[in-house]
């Protein structure tokens, strides 16, 4: 049993810690750092041997590291400087996993240092509620420890959804976590689910010259995006040889020692070396024994919270993927800090910004912030559009990154920036220039900023000036 300490609130019982955080992904880390810097005693429970959660080990970091390696390979093979080589350079999926592993190791060391410097107590094992204040931990060596706290934050993240009729133990069937253990060099892959993860891995595998069938259960790719961005990605994937099948559902998956055959409800069937099932995620709550704490999760394993990320049980909070939308690492970190602020001060009024930027790391990237054209049209807001094509920018020509564009949506009368959408290399970086202006108050958020300021030349940021001029020229 952890050493008992007297709670700072004399009216409360004695607890081992002020706060316990279950999970060390972005949400858990954000909460732990905020609470520890406010002199709270904090314990974190991580079910795996190393901190960082799914974001560091299976999701955001490894997939983006893979994407970077493949993007560099594509640039090398398409660069005129190397056109005289005998043949294009070929790398396999296992070849590029080495880079991802080194990045993961660096991130783990960095994040471990955060917990150590801030005197956060780490437990490694499976957490399970005993009641609303006590958590049982089954440690790595099989022993059990029970710790208590005044407040508990659930930041357990999510995992890939596994339908019962798909055999994920088969060596040719993968989800977005297990794909990182792919050892062979497939010639053809079927990706079921054309959401963010499916689209990103379609780009990665196609960049490695693997034939890709991307099965989309909806009628368009990434339908939450602005239509032009969605169409640009669809065209780019198609132009690079990805076969996209819209509006399809799996009927069954047939596996053999040598291949996978996917049967669709429409009657189609496809054969490939392996299947990546990337259709949906489930909150990691099944093993928490939520009922003991007076909580329940919905059918997707997610927990309901209020604006302060407080659950139906007053002293228990939840942040990150385990609460659902927006399911972004960046948002989860902020949610953890907001929940921590609410614990420290019940009157804290922190909340996520209204316009959370979206970054999708396909090849090329997509990033957006604010409203889409469809949303503005449906709301009957009079807007205008300014566009810049990357192929016209000197920096893009120098870098041979000619694919892509930037689009600014702004109010016709006030010139207020309403949305920014970018498709192309480094889109997720470029978007933040526009986001910074959108956050300005007292009339500072107008498209005129991009006309009146001076940009470095040549830069990709110059796209904002080009797009602003293009849009203002449409006004009359």
For β-strands 243-245 and 358-360, DSSP reports them as unpaired
Residues of the binding site for FAD: 46-55
Q: Give Cβ neighbours of residue 330 (< 8 Å, ≥ 6 apart).
A: 26, 356, 357
Tell me which residue has tokens 């609470």: 35
Point out the annotated binding site: 46-55
CA distance 160 to 176: 7
Q: Which residues contact 254 (CB under 8 A, 6 or more apart)?
A: 260, 261, 262, 263
3-state secondary structure of 305: coil
Closest CA to 53 of 19, 32, 28: 28
Q: Are 125 and 22 a contacting pair, CB within 8 Å?
A: no
**Residue position matching structure tokens 């990805």:** 242
What angle do the packed helices 329-344 and 26-36 form, to 10 degrees? 30
Nearest-angstrom CA–CA distance, 211 and 195: 19
How many C-beta atoms lie closer than 10 Å to residue 169's C-beta? 7
Q: What is the spatial distance between Cα 39 and Cα 327, in angstroms, rounded to a whole number?
A: 29
Whether the Cβ atoms of residue 155 and residue 319 lie closer than 8 Å to each other: yes
Tell me the sheet residues that pair with 252.
263
């Amino acid at each position: 049993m952890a050493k008992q300490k007297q709670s700072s609130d004399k009216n409360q019982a004695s607890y081992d810690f002020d706060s316990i955080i279950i999970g060390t992904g972005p949400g858990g880390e954000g909460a732990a750092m905020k609470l520890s810097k406010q002199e709270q005693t904090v314990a974190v429970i991580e079910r795996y041997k190393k901190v960082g959660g799914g974001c560091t080990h299976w999701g955001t970091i490894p997939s983006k590291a893979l994407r970077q390696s493949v993007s560099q390979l594509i640039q090398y093979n398409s660069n005129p400087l190397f056109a005289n080589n005998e043949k294009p350079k070929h790398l396999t999926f296992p070849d590029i996993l080495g880079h991802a592993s080194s990045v993961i190791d660096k991130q783990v060391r960095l994040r471990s240092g955060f917990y150590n410097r801030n005197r956060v107590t780490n437990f490694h094992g499976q957490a399970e509620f005993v009641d609303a204040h006590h958590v049982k931990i089954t440690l790595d060596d099989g022993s059990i420890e029970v710790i208590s706290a005044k407040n508990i934050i659930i930041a357990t993240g999510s995992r890939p959804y596994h339908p019962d009729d798909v055999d994920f133990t088969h060596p040719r069937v993968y989800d977005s976590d297990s794909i990182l253990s792919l050892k062979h060099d497939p010639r053809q892959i079927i990706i079921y689910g054309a959401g963010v993860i499916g689209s990103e891995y379609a780009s990665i595998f196609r960049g490695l010259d693997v034939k890709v069938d991307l099965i989309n259960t909806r009628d368009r790719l990434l339908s939450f995006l602005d239509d032009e961005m969605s169409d640009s990605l669809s065209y780019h994937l198609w132009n690079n040889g990805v076969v996209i099948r819209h509006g399809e559902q799996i009927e069954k998956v047939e596996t053999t020692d040598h291949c996978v055959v996917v049967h669709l409800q429409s009657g189609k069937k496809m054969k490939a070396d392996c299947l990546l099932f990337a259709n949906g995620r489930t909150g990691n709550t099944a093993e928490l024994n939520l009922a003991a704490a007076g909580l329940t999760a919905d059918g997707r394993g997610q927990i309901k919270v209020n604006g302060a990320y407080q659950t139906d049980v007053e002293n228990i909070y939840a942040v990150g993927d385990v609460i659902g939308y927006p399911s972004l690492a960046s948002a989860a970190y902020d949610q953890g800090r907001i929940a921590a602020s609410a614990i420290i001060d019940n009157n804290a009024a922190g909340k996520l910004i209204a316009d959370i930027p979206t970054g999708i790391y396909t090849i090329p990237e997509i990033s957006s912030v604010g409203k889409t054209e469809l949303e503005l049209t449906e709301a009957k807001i009079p807007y205008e559009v300014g566009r810049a094509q990357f192929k016209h920018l000197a920096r893009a020509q120098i870098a041979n990154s000619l694919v892509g564009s930037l689009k600014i949506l702004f109010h016709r009368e006030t010139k207020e920036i309403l949305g920014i959408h970018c498709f192309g290399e480094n889109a997720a970086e470029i978007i933040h220039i526009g986001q910074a202006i959108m956050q300005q108050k007292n009339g500072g958020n107008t498209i005129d900023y991009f006309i009146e300021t001076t940009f470095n030349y040549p830069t990709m940021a110059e796209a904002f000036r080009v797009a602003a001029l293009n849009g203002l020229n449409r006004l009359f």
